[in-house]
Structure 1
Amino acid sequence: MAALGIAIGGGNWFSALALGVTLLKCLLIPTYHSTDFEVHRNWLAITHSLPISQWYYEATSEWTLDYPPFFAWFEYALSHVAKYFDQEMLNVHNLNYSSSRTLLFQRFSVIFTDALFVYAVHECCKCIDGKKAGKELTEKPKFILSVLLLWNFGLLIVDHIHFQYNGFLSGLMLLSIARFFQKRHMEGAFLFAVLLHFKHIYLYVAPAYGVYLLRSYCFTANKPDGSIRWNSFSFVRLISLGLIVFLVSAVSLGPFLALNQLPQVFSRLFPFKRGLCHAYWAPNFWALYSALDKVLSVIGMPSVFCLWFKPQGPRGFLRCLILCALSSFMFGWHVHEKAILLAVLPMSLLSVGKAVDASIFLILTTTGHYSLFPLLFTAPELPIKILLMLLFTIYSISSLKTLFRKEKPLFNWMETFYLLGLGPLEVFCEFVFPFTSWNLKYPFVPLLLTSVYCAVGITYAWFKLYVSVLTGPPVGKTKKH
Structure 2
Amino acid sequence: MLSLPVGWFRALLVSGADGRRMALPGSILATLLIKWAVSLHSHSGLNTPPMFGDFEAQRHWMELTTHLPRSEWYRYDLGYWGLDYPPLTALHSWLFGNIAHMIDPSWVALNSSRGNEDPNLKQFMRLTALITDMLAFLPGVVLFSKLWFSSPTSWIEKQTWIFLMLLCPTLIVIDHGHFQYNSAMLGFALLAFALFLDKRYIFGSIFFCLSLNFKQMALFYAIPVFFYLLGQCVQMGAVRGLTMLLKLGLTVVITFAACIAAVTPSIDDTFQMLVRVFPVNRGLYEDKVANFWCAINVVIKLREMFDVPDLVKLSMACTLLAVIPAGLLVFRYPNRRTFLYSLVVGSLGFFLFSFQVHEKSILLPALPVMIFVLDDPVAASWFINVAMFSMFPLLKKDGLVLVYIALVCLWNLLNPAMFNYRTDFAKICTFGSVSLMVGWHIVEITSPPSKRYPDLDAVFNILISTAHFGIFFLYFYYQLWVSSTKGALSSASSSTAVLFVASPTSSVSPLRSPTKSFPKSLSKTKTE
- Tell me the TM-score range normalised by the shorter chain: 0.7 to 0.9
Report matched runs for 1:421-440 at 5 Å: 421-429=436-444, 431-433=445-447, 436=448, 438-440=449-451
The equivalent position to 1:211 in structure 2, one of 190, 208, 227, is: 227
TM-score, length basis structure 1: 0.86
8 Å contact 2:378–2:417 — kept in the other structure? no
8 Å contact 2:38–2:403 — kept in the other structure? no
Counterpart of 1:273 in structure 2 is 281
- 2:88 is the counterpart of 1:70: yes
| Cα separation, 1, equivalents of 2:197 and 2:323 | 23
- Give the residue type in structure 2 aligned to 1:98: E
The alpha-carbon distance between structure 1 residues 284 and 379, as it changes in their structure 2 partners (threshold 3 A), is: closer
| Cα separation, 1, equivalents of 2:267 and 2:317 | 38
8 Å contact 1:352–1:400 — kept in the other structure? no
Which segment is superposed worse, 251-260 or 286-295? Answer: 286-295
The equivalent position to 2:331 in structure 1, one of 308, 311, 323, is: 308
8 Å contact 1:67–1:200 — kept in the other structure? yes
Counterpart of 2:367 in structure 1 is 345
Counterpart of 1:47 in structure 2 is 65
Report matched runs for 1:407-446 at 5 Å: 407-408=422-423, 411-429=426-444, 431-433=445-447, 436=448, 438-446=449-457
SS, match of residue 261 in structure 1: helix
Counterpart of 1:176 in structure 2 is 192
- Give the residue type in structure 2 aligned to 1:81: I
- 2:491 is the counterpart of 1:469: no
Counterpart of 2:257 in structure 1 is 250
The equivalent position to 2:213 in structure 1, one of 163, 175, 197, is: 197
8 Å contact 2:338–2:483 — kept in the other structure? no
Counterpart of 1:127 in structure 2 is 147
Superposed CA RMSD in Å reads 2.7
8 Å contact 2:378–2:419 — kept in the other structure? no
- Give the residue type in structure 1 aligned to 2:370: S
Q: Name stretches of at least 5 consecutive residues in structure 1 with no aligned partner.
A: 222-229
TM-score, length basis structure 2: 0.79
Report the CA distance between 1:202 and its aligned residue.
Answer: 0.9
Counterpart of 2:100 in structure 1 is 82
8 Å contact 2:43–2:399 — kept in the other structure? no
- Give the residue type in structure 1 aligned to 2:473: W
| Cα separation, 2, equivalents of 1:259 and 1:291 | 27
Counterpart of 1:18 in structure 2 is 28
Counterpart of 1:225 in structure 2 is none
SS, match of residue 351 in structure 1: coil
| Cα separation, 2, equivalents of 1:290 and 1:258 | 28
Structure with greater contact order relative to length (CA < 8 Å, sep ≥ 6):
2
8 Å contact 1:219–1:232 — kept in the other structure? no
Report the CA distance between 1:73 and its aligned residue.
Answer: 0.9
| Cα separation, 2, equivalents of 1:52 and 1:88 | 21
**Residue identity (%):** 24
- Give the residue type in structure 2 aligned to 1:251: A
Total equivalences in the alignment: 452
8 Å contact 1:85–1:102 — kept in the other structure? no
- Give the residue type in structure 2 aligned to 1:258: S
